[in-house]
Chains A and B, each alone.
Chain A
Amino acid sequence: MRRKITLCYRKVINVNSISTWERLVFTDSFTEFKMQSQYFDQESKYYTFAELLHNVPTAEKLHFLVSGSIINYVKQLNEVIPDVTNNLGLHFLKFNQFRFEIINSDLRNIDKHVVAINFYSEQLNHIDQIGDYLLTSKSNISDNENREVLTDMFAMIPYLTIYSIKQ
């Protein structure tokens, strides 16, 4: 019986991010943070997300609330996890689960704004490890020993991890 795994890729976006998609996520999430953080700090006492979180623990909800500003960009990815490629250089991981986080932000300076989007892959069959590479197949393909199964081979890049395992 093969193990079923899901992967998590944590895409960090900051002032140095360059692609159009990353810039849209970066600027729109900063705008939304500026708007929604005012609810938790109605006297405008704090500037950074860290300060706000320390003094107003319910500001933790901002991870969720600010995610509304980037959800339409997540949809534009058409369920394909960005950046992660197999050894043919093709994006092969599909997702329908995500989680957005604010890592740091500062109302005074957008350059301090750092966010991450965690992408959770669909379930894969873990077949083998060959050197530095994982060999997987789509888990919706039936696990029949006599059938030829198409596979993906890929290396675990930084910010990519195995999120869950089912024996």
Chain B
Amino acid sequence: MERKNFLRSLLIGAVSTPAVINACKKSSAADETVGVTTTPTGGSSASNCVVAPTETEGPFPTKAPASYVRSDITDGQTGYKLTAKITIGNSNNNCSALAGAIVDIWHCDAEGNYSEYGGTSMQSTNYQSVHFLRGRQTTDTNGLVTFTSIFPGWYSGRATHIHVHVYNASGKSLKVTQIAFPEGSGTAVALVNGYKKGLSGYTYNKNDNVFSDDTSGIEIATVTGNTTSGFELKIQLSVPA
């Protein structure tokens, strides 16, 4: 508690003592443009008595959306281009288009890995492109969202898939599901051929623990295109809204 209060006292000090009396260049390279206020305040004991921040205020934070909110979720990942067009319908209203729904998608890279890190280790992460192949869009009046990405790779035990989480406009979960891909000669799965891995040991939809019960194939998207010009995926998902 004492530490928190101490940190807060630093912040309060910075806010409440804006009297700029001098502009003193600092010797290091960082922040050469800052001016200086001179109000050393700080901790309550000699052992943690430090100079409070004494700089011109800034940078000025502005409200910013989550990094997921973008149409192109590629983030420099290499693979065959995939455009995913997902239409959300309302299963409580004859599957009519659901506008204003929030749609999250995420999938693995060409080698079968997701962007992620553990929370318990001390491992640090570069903050640039840390959430690759994860995206969020809001459906338009036709219930449509469009993402640009790469064709997903695969990993042991699972068929090629894209995760989807649909929320209503206020963030309440409406549906967690996955999109499956058509299989067989000439399909995108066959053309991409598992990238560098090949398809040896690949799990097909009928053996996939998520898709195997989908005997009518409603989870399987329509996928067209080729490895030269890229692929286009289309699917309609109906959720109870």
Establish whether residues A157 and B48, one from each chain, have CB atoms under 8 Å apart when the complex forms. yes
Tell me whether B21 is interfacial, beta carbon within 8 Å.
no
Tell me whether B218 is interfacial, beta carbon within 8 Å.
no
Establish whether residues A18 and B11, one from each chain, have CB atoms under 8 Å apart when the complex forms. yes
Establish whether residues B119 and A64, one from each chain, have CB atoms under 8 Å apart when the complex forms. yes
Given A83-B7, A83-B10, also A60-B131 (CB < 8 A) = no
Tell me whether B173 is interfacial, beta carbon within 8 Å.
yes
Tell me whether B34 is interfacial, beta carbon within 8 Å.
yes
Q: Is the interface of B mostly helix, strand, loop or mixed?
A: loop
Q: Of residues B30, B53, B67, which shows the largest number of chain A Cβ atoms within 10 Å of its Cβ? A: B30
Given A90-B54, A98-B127, also A61-B116 (CB < 8 A) = yes
Tell me whether B191 is interfacial, beta carbon within 8 Å.
no
* A residues near B49, Cβ cutoff 8 Å: 155
| Docked CA distance A86–B228 (Å) | 55
Query: Of A14, A39, A92, A97, which is within 8 A of B31 by CB?
Result: A92
Tell me whether A77 is interfacial, beta carbon within 8 Å.
yes
* A residues near B10, Cβ cutoff 8 Å: 83
Given A18-B12, A60-B119, also A73-B31 (CB < 8 A) = no
| Docked CA distance A24–B171 (Å) | 18
Q: Is the interface of A mostly helix, strand, loop or mixed?
A: mixed
Establish whether residues A80 and B30, one from each chain, have CB atoms under 8 Å apart when the complex forms. yes
With CB as the reference atom, state the residue of chain B lying closest to A38: B173
Q: Of residues B4, B27, B29, B124, which shows the largest number of chain A Cβ atoms within 10 Å of its Cβ? A: B124
Establish whether residues A32 and B66, one from each chain, have CB atoms under 8 Å apart when the complex forms. yes
Establish whether residues A83 and B134, one from each chain, have CB atoms under 8 Å apart when the complex forms. no
Tell me whether B118 is interfacial, beta carbon within 8 Å.
yes
Establish whether residues B173 and A155, one from each chain, have CB atoms under 8 Å apart when the complex forms. no
With CB as the reference atom, state the residue of chain B lying closest to A78: B59
Establish whether residues B66 and A89, one from each chain, have CB atoms under 8 Å apart when the complex forms. no
Query: Of B3, B26, B38, which is within 8 A of A159 by CB?
Result: B3
Shortest distance between the CB of B205 and any CB in chain A (Å) = 22
Q: 1/0 per residue B111-146: CB within 8 Å of A?
A: 000011111101111111011001000000000000
Establish whether residues A96 and B119, one from each chain, have CB atoms under 8 Å apart when the complex forms. no
Query: Of A20, A88, A154, A155, which is within 8 A of B26 by CB?
Result: A88
Establish whether residues B64 and A73, one from each chain, have CB atoms under 8 Å apart when the complex forms. yes
| Docked CA distance A64–B167 (Å) | 19
Establish whether residues B131 and A96, one from each chain, have CB atoms under 8 Å apart when the complex forms. no
Establish whether residues A35 and B171, one from each chain, have CB atoms under 8 Å apart when the complex forms. yes
Shortest distance between the CB of A128 and any CB in chain B (Å) = 16
With CB as the reference atom, state the residue of chain B lying closest to A53: B119
Q: 1/0 per residue A57-97: CB within 8 Å of B?
A: 00011111101110111111110100101111111111011
29 A–B contact pairs at CB < 8 A? Answer: A18-B8, A18-B12, A28-B66, A39-B165, A39-B176, A64-B116, A71-B127, A71-B130, A71-B131, A72-B66, A74-B127, A76-B62, A83-B7, A83-B11, A88-B51, A88-B54, A89-B51, A89-B54, A90-B30, A90-B31, A92-B30, A98-B125, A99-B122, A150-B28, A154-B50, A157-B48, A158-B6, A158-B7, A163-B124
Known: A28-B66, A32-B66, A39-B176. 4 other contacts (CB 8 A): A35-B102, A68-B68, A89-B52, A90-B34
> Chain A interface (Cβ within 8 Å of chain B)?
8, 12, 14, 16, 18-21, 24, 28, 31-32, 34-35, 38-39, 42, 60-65, 67-69, 71-78, 80, 83, 85-94, 96-99, 101-102, 118, 120, 132, 138, 150-152, 154-155, 157-159, 163
